[in-house]
Chain A
Amino acid sequence: MPKDRTGLSRRDFLKTTSTGLAVSFASRSLPVSAAPDYDLAVISGNQAAATRKAVEALGGMSRFVQKGHRVVLKPNMSFASGPERASNTHPAVVHTVAQMCLEAGADEVMIVDNPLQSAELCLRRAGVVEACKGLKNTYVQMFTDRKFYREVKIPQGKVLDRVEVIKEVLDSQVLICLPQAKSHSNTGISMGIKGLMGLIWDRWSFHSRYNINEALADLATVLRPKLTILDATRALTTGGPGGPGEIVKPNLVIAGTDPIAVDSFGVSVAPWYGQQFKGRQVEHLLAASQRGLGKIDVQSLNILRASA
């Protein structure tokens, strides 16, 4: 149960979280209208409330979404399993963000993924369709046909020079990533950056042809979310990305504009395969940070920790 730990230093905090237990965070009261001078918002609580509070702490959705914008949300929903398996983003997180986008004046919210199992089954079991049923101008869509993708060049790419991306992503004004925190048998962890692979057509070549970590960093140079909200309310710490595996409950929602920082912080909130790691130890995050895409050392960041 939430215990007040006022006066906890940042360093102590990181140490504490690195035990991998679900940790409750200080619930300092904060002026909601505060200027968005936090790099990261780390909020404990239930999915919907924590998500809302995290976005508000960063300055509210209107900082990212303006009237008339078309928004693409990229949760993990590429496995035909429910929230209990922690391989997909919790539907309440997706619903809250979609709702906030509409509140901020978005014209259209498109929730997309490129599934690994049958698209219909994924849509049905991941629960996102059900959760977002009441929202107007909100669409949940799997893109399983190549005609919905368009090639873009990757000028800064080291191993990839072009990639085919879902057209709706390229034509929208805002991309918001809503990854689920989970282990991954190939890249260690799968969070925001790894989740970008759900926006492209040919993901298999990442596994078989390229160094996947470099390819992910290349991909991150062209797919730049304005906001990343990591669902670490549950974390699949083994058996990822599909599960089943061990699940711990950090009970956190982590939001930020810097996708590397969000992922890097996410690495610290749970033990992966029974070990603690830092963001810097995740090869694809390091590669992406070396491309100048974000800060991997979260100690230097201004982090809001609160509970909702």
Chain B
Amino acid sequence: MRAAIQALSLLLFTLLFALANYRLPDWLPADIYLRLDPLLGLSAILAGRTWVPRAAWGLVLLVATLLLGRFFCSYVCPLGAILDFLDRPLFGRVKRRTLESDAALRNVKHVVLILFVAAAMAGSSLVYLLDPIALLTRTFTFALFPPFVGLVNLVLDAVRPVAEAMRWMRIATLSYAQPVFYMSLVTFLIFAGIVALGRLVPRFWCRYLCPLGALLSLLSPLGRLRRTVGPECPACGVCQNACPMGAALDEGGTRVAECIQCRTCVAACPQDLVTFPASPHALATGTSERPDLSRRGFLYSVAGGAGLGFAVQQSPFTPLQNKQQLIRPPGALPENEFLTTCIRCGECMKSCLTNTLQPTLWESGLAGLWTPKLDMRFAACEQECNVCGKVCPTQAIRSLDLEEKTHAKLGTAVLKKETCLVWAQDKLCLICDEICPYDAIVFRTIDGFRRPFVIASRCNGCGYCEQRCPVEGDSAVVVVPIGQIRLSTGSYVTEAKKLQLDFKPNPGDDQFILKSEGLRVEPKKHETAGPQAKRPPARPAAKKPKGFLP
């Protein structure tokens, strides 16, 4: 029964993860698990000192925990489900010694929680490091999704000869774009480490480390459902050994805060003495253990967290935050707010249509780990897609309609004349002009050749030019954050209008192509070239416009 619910929850989590792509309908909250996690919302609100509307969903889980106890961990949490499901196949034959005095270990999760909350109050959102839902979504995105697609493609490749022979063309032509990410391996190793800790004791992560579990355990003793053991209990110890959380104690005692209502003990008890009555008097019965933190320990944790939060910010990255080369997703909050609000779940990067969204490593310091950036040499931002904001659980990337998103200028393309084939080598190339969806690249006559220029007011930084530039190595046209529009509230369209930007796609200005020959301009036709245009033509004059002959 519990395993079935767990499996369903994990399935739902996976399904929503799979559905997070550019086709996501507006009504479907693919990020609902992340929204329900009160710790993520709390941390974002504290660190950003701002209200996060989607964080209100976290109240649902808080209230439910107040009423029912810590059922989330045993029934809903997808990471808990994975740890449970992997426990038997991985560690079923391992003899795990019971950790007798693990009170100190149990407190680690409370210390972790206090550290993160204190850090958030000091202005750094670090909870993403260990929050189970953010961590698992991130693991799915970077570590599990790419190899999964790879595996599917391998199977399809294996089936393909048969499918071709049978003319099953849907299968024969099927192949999925392979997503690739930086930091896949490190993300996987963290996840693998959490699974591996189960070697020591079942649900090691949940017992000792999980900060969400720690938060919920503060509320769960108030829950109505309470483990109760009949007075005839002979203290046989069976339930104590069976309990995955170490919550069952000698002689019918219960660590109420640790109990996740999984009812393993109910099934295990040889005399059927364990029940979970929904008693209004439940509070009065049973034993309860408070988190065993001394005042000193508590203060140390607070101080440590605040210090950590402070230290993370005190680096040149913070004052330089608006001078980074990083291109953030369209609709990303202003950099400082963005870093405090982003919970590094990776959902935006998973759903990105072109795979241009990539996690950062150190590009913006410790405060910026795993935050999304655009890698435009690799892929451009597709103008018909706005999914990254839609799936952002804390709205660090604002959810924008396509019109607004088009005006959320990412940056501006800059031409590097030293490497541009036209500027540096007088070659015929106009790929950037051809691919630009906004006609932001125009040609003007310089030194007897038509040379590309970027019209900054038309460029919204989508990056197609950077991606497609045929120069080997670094692109000769690069999107830099100059002119990026980052708003925490208000309309990007209004802002763009105010700045006199014009992202309406215009008809091409490439008529010149037919009016003269190619990029070269006959000296007598010079109008703008001026006295510098003395350089002898590097190539023999063609007779007529580009692509056409006399």
Establish whether residues A244 and B429, one from each chain, have CB atoms under 8 Å apart when the complex forms: no
Nearest B residue to A80 via CB reads B384
Are the CB atoms of A148 and B546 closer together than 8 Å? no
Residues of A within 8 A of B354 (CB): 118
Binds B, one of A47-55, A180-188, A219-227, A298-306: A180-188
Near B by CB (< 8 A), chain A positions 237-252 give: 238-246
What is the CA–CA distance of A117 and B385 in the complex, to the nearest angstrom? 12
**Which one of A36-44, A92-100, A139-147 is at the B interface?**
A139-147
Binary A-proximity of B18-50 (CB < 8 A = 1, otherwise 0): 000010000000000000000000000000000
A213 vs B545: C-alpha distance in the bound complex, in angstroms?
Answer: 13
Contact A283 B429 (CB under 8 A): no
Binds A, one of B262-270, B370-378, B506-514: B506-514
- B544 within 8 A of partner (CB): yes
Is the Cβ of B511 less than 8 Å from the Cβ of A273? yes
Would you call A284 an interface residue if the criterion is a C-beta within 8 Å of the partner chain's C-beta atoms? yes
B 169-185 to A, binary, CB cutoff 8 A, 1 in contact else 0 = 11001010100000000
B511 touches A244 (CB 8 A): no
Contact of B431 among A80, A208, A213 (CB under 8 A): A208
With A207-B431, A207-B470 known as contacts, the answer to whether A273 contacts B513 (CB < 8 A) is: yes
Q: A110-B169, A143-B173, A238-B508 are in contact. Are A282 and B549 (CB under 8 A)?
A: yes
User: Of the candidates B430, B433, B505, B510, which one forms a contact with A244 in the assembled complex, judged by CB atoms under 8 Å apart?
Assistant: B505
Please determine whether A108 and B511 come into contact, CB atoms closer than 8 angstroms: no
A152 at the interface (CB under 8 A from B): no
Task: Check A240 against B548 for contact (C-beta < 8 Å).
Answer: no
Decide: A204 and B544 in contact? CB cutoff 8 A.
Answer: no
Q: Establish whether residues A188 and B514, one from each chain, have CB atoms under 8 Å apart when the complex forms.
A: yes
Residues of B within 8 A of A185 (CB): 430, 433-434, 508, 510, 513, 546
Bound-state Cα–Cα, A168 to B167, Å: 11
In-complex Cβ contact of A186 among B353, B385, B546 (8 A): B546
Interface contact A107-B167, CB-CB below 8 Å:
yes
Hey, what's the 0/1 contact readout for B463-490 against A, CB within 8 Å counting as 1? 0000010100000000000000000000
Q: Does A156 contact B (CB under 8 A)?
A: no
- In angstroms, Cα B511 to Cα A121, docked, is 29
A31 interfacial by beta-carbon distance below 8 Å: no
Q: Does A215 contact B (CB under 8 A)?
A: no
Question: In the complex, what's the smallest C-beta–C-beta distance from A191 to chain B, in angstroms?
Answer: 12
Q: Mark B418-440, 1 if CB is under 8 A from A, else 0.
A: 00010000000111011101010
From known contacts A238-B507, A238-B508, A245-B507, infer whether A204 and B470 are also in contact, taking CB-CB under 8 Å: yes
Residue in chain B with minimal CB distance to A284:
B547
Q: Does B550 have its Cβ within 8 Å of any Cβ on chain A?
A: yes
Q: How far is the CA of A32 from the CA of B277 in the complex (A)?
A: 86
* Interface contact A148-B173, CB-CB below 8 Å: yes
Q: Tell me, in angstroms, the Cα distance from A139 to B171 when the chains sit together.
A: 11
Q: Are A208 and B429 in contact (CB under 8 A)?
A: yes
A143-B385 Cα distance, complex, nearest whole Å: 21
Interface centre among B177, B435, B547 (most CB of A within 10 A): B547
Chain B residue total in the interface (Cβ 8 A):
40
Given known A-B contacts A121-B382, A238-B511, A147 and B437 have beta carbons under 8 A apart:
no
| Nearest residue, chain A, Cβ from B23 | A120
Best-surrounded residue of A119, A184, A239 (most CB of chain B within 10 A) = A239
- B434 contacts A283, C-beta separation under 8 Å: no
Chain A residues contacting B421 (CB-CB under 8 Å) are 208
Contacts of B167 in A (CB 8 A): 107-108
Q: B84 an interface residue at 8 Å Cβ cutoff?
A: no
A118/B507 contact (C-beta < 8 A), A139-B173, A186-B546 known: no
Within 8 A of A (CB), among B492-515: 505-508, 510-511, 513-515
Q: How far is the CB of A34 from chain B (nearest CB, A)?
A: 35
A7 adjacent to chain B (CB < 8 Å) = no
Would A184 and B429 count as touching, CB distance under 8 A?
Answer: no
Residues of chain B from 383 to 425 with CB closer than 8 A to chain A in the complex: 384-385, 421
B363 interfacial by beta-carbon distance below 8 Å: no
Q: How far is the CA of A187 from the CA of B421 in the complex (A)?
A: 18
Q: Tell me the complex Cα distance, A293–B22, Å.
A: 44
Given A121-B353, A185-B433, A185-B513, also A148-B508 (CB < 8 A): no
Restricting to A179-235, which residues have a CB under 8 Å from any CB of B?
Answer: 183-189, 204, 207-208, 213
- Taking a contact as CB atoms under 8 Å apart, the answer to whether B507 and A117 are in contact is no
Evaluate contact between B508 and A239: CB separation under 8 angstroms: yes
List chain B residues, Cβ under 8 A from A121. Answer: 22, 353, 382, 384-385
Pick from A139, A148, A188: contact of B175, CB below 8 A: A148
User: Does the CB pair A108–B169 fall under 8 Å?
Assistant: yes
Name the distance in Å between A296's Cβ and chain B's nearest Cβ.
Answer: 11
Contact of A273 (CB < 8 Å), options: B169, B429, B439, B510: B510
Instruction: Kindly provide the distance from the CB of B433 to the nearest chain A CB, expressed in whole angstroms.
Output: 6
Which residue on B lies nearest to A282, using beta carbons? B548
Which residues of chain A from 129 to 167 have any CB-CB distance to chain B below 8 Å in the complex?
137, 139, 141, 143-145, 147-148
Chain B residues, CB < 8 A from A139: 169-170, 173
CA A241 – CA B433 in complex, angstroms?
A: 11
User: When the two chains form the complex, which single residue of B157, B507, B546, B550 contacts A188, counting CB atoms closer than 8 Å?
Assistant: B546
> In whole angstroms, what is the CA distance A246 to B507 when docked?
7
Q: Which residues of A contact B547 (CB under 8 A)?
A: 184, 186-189, 213, 282-284
Structural contact, B545 and A188, CB atoms closer than 8 A: yes
Query: Which residues of chain A are within 8 angstroms of B22 by Cβ–Cβ distance?
Result: 120-121
Cross-chain pairs A/B with CB under 8 angstroms, 23 sampled:
A110-B173, A116-B435, A118-B353, A118-B382, A121-B382, A121-B384, A125-B384, A141-B169, A141-B173, A144-B177, A145-B175, A185-B510, A185-B546, A188-B513, A189-B547, A207-B470, A238-B510, A239-B439, A244-B507, A273-B510, A273-B511, A274-B511, A282-B549
Sample of 13 further A-B pairs with CB below 8 A, known A117-B382, A144-B175, A240-B508:
A118-B354, A121-B382, A121-B385, A141-B173, A183-B508, A185-B546, A204-B431, A239-B510, A242-B435, A243-B505, A273-B513, A282-B547, A286-B549
Residues of chain B touching chain A, judged by Cβ–Cβ distance below 8 Å, are: 22, 157, 167, 169-170, 173, 175, 177, 353-354, 382, 384-385, 421, 429-431, 433-435, 437, 439, 468, 470, 505-508, 510-511, 513-515, 544-550
By Cβ-Cβ distance, the 8 closest A-B pairs, closest first, are A188-B547, A239-B508, A208-B470, A273-B514, A187-B547, A185-B510, A273-B511, A245-B507
